[in-house]
Structure 1
Amino acid sequence: MAGAYLIGLIVMAVSWYVQWRLKSKFKEYSEVGLRIGLSGKEIAEKMLYDNGIYDVRVQSVEGTLTDHYNPQDKTVNLSPDVFYGRSVAAAAVSAHEVGHAVQHATAYSWLQFRSKMVPVLTVSSRYMSWIILAGILLLNTTPIPLTIGVVLFALTTLFSFITLPVEYDASNRALAWIDRQGVVTQAEHGMAADALKWAARTYLVAAIGSLATLLYYVMVLLGRRE
């Protein structure tokens, strides 16, 4: 058990560091003006049109680093700093989110797989924490509740790892497009790649953290049988 706690603390520390680096990188590259002078909104719309996608809207949403693509209503949602920004960071993030829209339009297999898991996880997430808590409290009586909780948490962990190829592919699509279309210079391309690299690492750490938590619950469950 002590080893599980130590791994958990290490994952938390790494997660904090990656989040801090991502925010600092975004702030740094937000201050670097894009030579071509386009805003994040304009870049997103241009990338959509270049990929033959005309039924996706680009809109602004509140918050910082709240950027995402919503496949349900086909919208690319950009935070104000990205939507209105004319920086390297804005170019990288907006193109990355459109990368998800391109995945959706081309039926990218990993995105489809992840989307099919969403309804199941939406339902299970409402009860998973309570089931695990009940399972731990009742462990000396019956292992069934905790076993169910572990299975549900395993689905969450699987979802985290399926997210990784989806995010990395979206970044690769974004970087290839902004380079091919001359949206960025060579130096700007390097900064955009660096920003997206740190963004991807947040998903990687989250997946590892989920796996570490899953292993902890498995150890608790198996420990009951010893």
Structure 2
Amino acid sequence: MHFYPFFDPTMILLIPAIIISFWAQTKISSTYNKYSEVRTMNGYTGQQIARMMLDEAGLFDIRIEVVNTKLGDHYDPANRVLRLSPDVYAGGTISSAGIAAHEVGHAIQHKEKYTPLVVRNSIVPVVNVGSSLSWILFLAGMFLGFKGLTTLGILLFSGVVIFQLITLPVEFDASTRALNILKSRGILYGDETKKAQKVLNAAAMTYVAATLMAVSQLIRLIAISNSRDE
């Protein structure tokens, strides 16, 4: 029996990852929205918290910009820019504090040459190419009957899986750094740190879900490839 890559019995392999991904997206949305309504005691905005943390880490040259995308917050190591979504940039809430601090955590990782981050950044170009070509080569190999192309497609997609696996410690470490600074610096008080942790834990689950999806997809590709040899 031959399987086909877009509609076949191997699709069942993706169901657990799809369910977890849906749950993770729902969780981050609800948690973010909930704590976007809870203002911090000190009232610092995300921008103020980020600037404070960056300066204390000696990262005076890193700019903070607004990116007009909800939950589009990120640190750009190539241009040394911290980009915060409007609500995080201007908000004085638990959510804005946690997310802004998390992105500063990435900037500090970059400064300290945190190994998983260095490795992840170094393979980004290869992964970008691999993610685009993997399916093309895989499908070409399937339909043309070239086992070598199919195998190459799988190998390229394996790079995507490796990237996702490396991303996990990078994200968890950035959150740990963020929470430690928020607490030790007195930026958040009392149980505010625990609430910020809930926001960051929910965000982390989206990366876990993405990793599970990538791993499941890789297993599926291997199963489809093996079915041709039966």
Judge same fold: TM > 0.5, yes or no: yes
Using structure 2 for the length normalisation, give the TM-score: 0.94
Q: Confirm whether residue 176 of structure 1 aligns to residue 180 of structure 2.
A: yes
Find 2:39's aligned residue among 10, 20, 33.
33
Out of 203, 207, 211, the position equivalent to 1:207 is 211
Residue 64 of structure 1 aligns with which residue? 70
Partner of 2:59: 53
Q: Deviations over 1:132-184 (max 9, x none)?
A: 2212212xx22111101000000000000000000000000000000001111
Letter in 2 for 1:54: F
Contact 2:62 2:81 in 1 (8 A): yes
2: CA distance, partners of 1:3 / 1:15: 20
The Cα offsets for residues 28-75 of structure 1, whole Å up to 9 and x where unpaired, read as 000000101110000000010111111211111011000000001001
Counterparts of 1:44 and 1:4, CA distance in 2: 45
How many residues get paired? Answer: 224
Q: Contact 1:4–1:212 at 8 Å: present in 2 too? A: no
- Amino acid of the structure 1 residue aligned with 2:67: V
Q: Does 1:76 align with 2:76?
A: no
Q: Shift of the alpha carbon at 1:202? A: 0.5
Amino acid across the alignment from 1:204 = V
Unaligned runs of 5+ in 2: none
> With structure 1 as the length reference, what TM-score do the two structures score?
0.95
Q: Distance in 1 between matches of 2:184 and 2:68?
A: 31
Q: How does 1:94-133 map to 2 (within 5 A)?
A: 94-133=100-139
Q: Does the 8 Å contact 2:130/2:159 carry over to 1?
A: no
Say which of 171, 176, 196 aligns to 1:167.
171
Which runs of at least 4 in structure 1 moved beyond 4 Å after TM superposition? none
Share of identical aligned residues, percent? 35
Partners of 1:4 and 1:216 within 8 A in 2: yes
For CA contacts below 8 A with separation 6 or more, give which structure has more relative contact order: 2
> Deviation of residue 123 (structure 1)?
2.3
Unaligned runs of 5+ in 1: none
Paired residue type of 2:200: L
CA offsets 1:10-37 (integer angstroms, 9 cap, x no match)? 2111101110110110000000001011
State the secondary structure of the residue aligned to 2:141: helix
- Which residue is equivalent to 2:157? 153
Question: Secondary structure of 1:186's partner?
Answer: coil
